[in-house]
Structure 1
Amino acid sequence: MGIPRLLILMGVILIIIGGLWTFVGKIPGDIVFKKGNTTFYFPIVTSIIISVVLTLIFYVIGRFK
């Protein structure tokens, strides 16, 4: 698999993830603190999900090399 093909595949995957993220909205489990004019958002669950998805993607890409 060449670099251009890999970049296209990763772009398509990012578009799919972005589309799903738009429809799902906020993921339950993320930490949000609101106090007055300040909002602190810590996306711990989102970070874990992205990490697992990227790990699986790179594992699959590595298996086909």
Structure 2
Amino acid sequence: MIRWLLVVFLALMLFSWLTPLLHRLGLGRLPGDMRFRLFGREWFIPLTTTIILSLIAAGIGRLL
């Protein structure tokens, strides 16, 4: 259980560090990525970007 928690934590850290690079590549501005303001705060839900990154990760996983 602790091992999976550590893996999820490291993956979230890596994703947060790579977010500026992904934005420069155009990910995060795809159709299906939602950005809206609610209660004075901007919310971002990257649905399409998440699906694309998951497919890339699954492809890499299959090759290994």
TM-score bin, normalised by smaller chain: 0.5 to 0.7
Q: TM-score, structure 2 length as denominator?
A: 0.53
Give the alignment of 1:6-21 within 5 angstroms.
18=18, 21=22
After superposition, residues 1-65 of structure 1 pair within 5 angstroms as 18=18, 21-25=22-26, 26-29=28-31, 30-35=33-38, 37-61=40-64
Give secondary structure in 2 for the equivalent of 1:21.
helix
Identity among equivalent pairs (%): 24
CA distance in 2 between counterparts of 1:32 and 1:21 reads 16
Larger radius of gyration: 1
Q: Which runs of 4+ in 1 moved over 2 A?
A: none
User: How many equivalent pairs are there?
Assistant: 45
Q: Which runs of 5+ in 1 are unaligned?
A: 1-13
User: What is the distance in 1 between the residues matched to 2:47 and 2:53?
Assistant: 10
Distance 2:53 2:40 in 1: 29
CA RMSD of aligned residues (A): 2.5
Structure 2's unaligned 5+ residue stretches are 1-13
